[in-house]
Every structure is written in C-alpha cells, then in structure tokens.
C-alpha cells in the first residue's frame, strides 16, 4: 500500500526519509541536496491533504551518541527554503517534549525530528524506541529507500505499532529497479565499478541470466585482472574474491554473457592530486603503482558496447573520482549514458552524487537514492523496510 491508499487529512503522519546528505568537510554545508528533493512529492502530497507531517531521518554514523555536526538543523533549513515554509527541528527524536510539539502541530505543518541514530536503540531495532516513535503519530510512511535494507526501529520496528505504507519515492524506486529485473529491453548491460567486488557478488549472480554484457571498471577491476594473472601493482585486491572473480568469468562465458574488462588503465604513484600518473596497457602495470582509473582505449571499448544497449544499470565509479585527475573515465561514461537512447538506471549512493554534480541526473531515466538498498534489491533479496509495510487488500 502507498500513501495514496489511506486517509491522511488531519492525521499526524510519521515519514521515514533518507536525509543522509553529503556535507562539506569543515563548513558543514550540504554538498548535494538531491536526497531532500527526492522526497518532496510525498511531503507536498501530505501538506496538500492537510496532514501534520513529522519527518524522521538519520545523518552519518553517530553510533548512538549525540554529535553536534550531525544534527539535522542544516537539513531543516534547506528543506524550509525549498518548501517555502518553516520546518521546525525537535531537540530529540523521542520523549515527552517531542510528543508535546507533535501534538501542537497544525494541518500542513512540517516537523523534523532530530537524528534518530543519536539513540543506540535505533540501529538495534529496540521495541521501546520504536514505540516512542509511534507515539508521535497516527500513520507511518516509509519513503527512505536508501535505508529500506536496514532492520532498524525507524524502518521496521515502528510498523508494528502504526498502519504502515510506502511513500511515493519508495514506490518509484521499487518500480524502476523492478522493471529492469523483470522485463528489461535488450541488449541489457550492467556497468559495475567502485572499490569492492564483495558487496556486489549476490547482485552479479542474480542478474547474470538477465544481462547481455557486464562491464567492469573501478577498483574491483583489479581483482578480476588478478584472477587472469595480470600484475596489478599496489591496487586494492580482495584476495578472498580472486577465485570467485574467475568463477564469475566462467559463468558468464557459459551463459553467453560478455564480461568486458579494461584493456588499459591509468596508474599513479599515490592517491593525491599531485601524484604522477601514466596510462598503460593491462600487460604493463608496474608493481610499484596502483590503478586509479580506466584508460582511453577502455573508455572507447566500453562506449562502443554501451551504444548497442537499450537498458543500462550503472553502479560504482570507474576510478577514484574524488580526485579530479582520476575522474575522467567516470565522467566520460556519465556523459555517454546521458546521451544514450536507452533506459539508464543509476545505482544510488556515490553514483547519485556524481551524476548530479555533473549536471547529468536529469538526462538519466532513473537515479536511485539507495546504494546498498539497490544492490540488495537487484540481488533478489527482500528489503526489511519494504516487507514490513501493509499490502493492498491486507
């Protein structure tokens, strides 16, 4: 069930959102507000129907302690600017003082609870904390796809005490990712990067039977190259994943899926903007250097394959994109996908930030707000935050 399926007028509605926005170090200013903007349809839907909107979210990893730089005041300020109405932040996320503020809310008001992860009970999914959250509202709406793979009090526990439905963003995420699993238009490519193969194994195994191409870049390419006995120097290699990478290569070959690895890479003698860089073929990687990006021939190869495709799922950068001179591969691929006549789905987390900063997010078919959640969903696994919601007809 979604928020459209219930009466919200004059009700206090607790909405779990994902306001875990990136903050600029030092200034604490929001670096990218796309996660805030992503839930605007649900917030506006509730305001327009005279609900009393109570938002709750985490920010960062305070590990059950109050950390001032992870307070949500900066988020409330930005949301207030976007909505054009005041958004008040409570001093805590639960307790009698917070309950009094929630009770005084008028129809159409928006209230933001303080960071739920300031309480250790949140991540432990303790019933007492979930009940304290539930006391604030009449209805619960989960619109935090980015946290839907977590069994926390604010995503799962609270659903035991309130009627619980999906928000409009959560619904959109499930539909967009579900469609590429159920009926993708072929040819279908999965473009995978980022540092580790370990967090993508289940997803790769689940989609092997559905894709035509798997293109591997980023740090995880080093593990695949190592599995083919190439020297990868000081690159990050997950030693316990080398055999698995070799097995995945065999599995794709058996199924007629093309697994495409880099043919050249950018290597560097350090991880800074001052590092000396060079482009080499994968046969000529020095033992003293590390892979930091895909090379121009690889960009060309990947581009040729992707231009044939009608569906592309992309998760993980092609290099260490935080350092501009190691970001060329990621940028080139992003620009290619933005102009592709295909369904392009971007797996969340850092990828959402990358395409937004590049000004290309609007040119993609769908940009997911959840990194870990999208990988788990595409691995065919249940998301606890979604499973806990009411079904139509229940």
Active site residues: 35, 196, 349, 372
Point out which residues pair with 30 in neighbouring strands. 23
Residues with Cβ within 8 Å of 192's Cβ and at least 6 positions away in sequence, in order, are 200, 204, 214, 215, 216, 217, 218, 220, 314, 315, 316
**What is the spatial distance between Cα 347 and Cα 173, in angstroms, rounded to a whole number?**
10
Rg of the chain over Cα atoms, rounded to whole angstroms, equals 22
Structure tokens of 194? Answer: 């980022």
**What is the spatial distance between Cα 145 and Cα 389, in angstroms, rounded to a whole number?**
13
**What is the spatial distance between Cα 269 and Cα 272, in angstroms, rounded to a whole number?**
9
């Amino acid at each position: 069930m979604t928020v459209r399926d219930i009466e919200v007028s004059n009700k206090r509605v607790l909405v779990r959102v994902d306001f875990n926005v990136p903050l600029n170090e030092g200034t604490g200013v929001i670096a990218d507000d796309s996660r805030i903007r992503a839930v605007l349809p649900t917030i506006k839907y509730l305001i327009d129907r005279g609900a009393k909107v109570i938002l709750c979210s985490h920010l960062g990893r305070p590990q059950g302690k109050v950390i001032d730089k992870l307070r949500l005041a900066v988020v409330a300020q930005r949301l207030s600017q976007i909505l054009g109405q005041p958004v008040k932040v409570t001093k805590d996320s639960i307790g009698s003082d917070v309950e009094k503020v929630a009770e005084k809310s008028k129809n159409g008001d928006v209230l933001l609870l303080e960071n739920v992860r300031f309480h250790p009970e949140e991540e432990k999914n303790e019933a007492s904390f979930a009940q304290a959250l539930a006391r604030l509202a009449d209805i619960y709406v989960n619109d935090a796809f980015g946290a839907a793979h977590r069994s926390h009090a604010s995503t799962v526990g609270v659903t035991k005490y309130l009627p619980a439905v999906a928000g409009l963003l959560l619904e959109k995420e499930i539909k967009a990712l579900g469609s590429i699993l159920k009926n993708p238009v072929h040819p279908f490519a999965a473009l995978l990067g980022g540092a580790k193969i370990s967090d993508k194994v289940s997803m790769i195994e689940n989609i092997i039977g559905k894709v035509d191409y798997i293109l591997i870049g980023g740090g995880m390419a080093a593990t695949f190259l190592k599995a083919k006995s190439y020297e990868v120097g000081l690159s990050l290699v997950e030693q316990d994943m080398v055999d698995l990478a070799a097995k995945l290569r065999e599995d794709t070959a058996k199924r007629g899926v093309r697994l495409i690895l880099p043919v050249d890479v950018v290597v560097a003698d350090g991880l800074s903007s001052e590092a000396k860089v060079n482009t080499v073929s994968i046969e000529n990687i020095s033992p003293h250097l590390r892979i930091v990006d895909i090379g121009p021939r690889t960009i060309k190869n990947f581009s040729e394959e992707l231009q044939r495709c009608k569906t592309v799922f992309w998760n993980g950068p092609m290099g260490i994109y935080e350092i501009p001179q190691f970001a060329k591969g990621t940028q080139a691929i992003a620009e290619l996908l933005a102009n592709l006549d295909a369904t392009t789905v971007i797996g969340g987390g850092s990828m959402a930030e990358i395409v937004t900063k590049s000004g290309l997010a609007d040119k993609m078919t769908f940009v997911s707000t959840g990194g870990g959640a999208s990988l788990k969903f595409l691995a065919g696994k249940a998301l606890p935050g979604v499973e806990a919601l009411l079904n139509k007809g229940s």
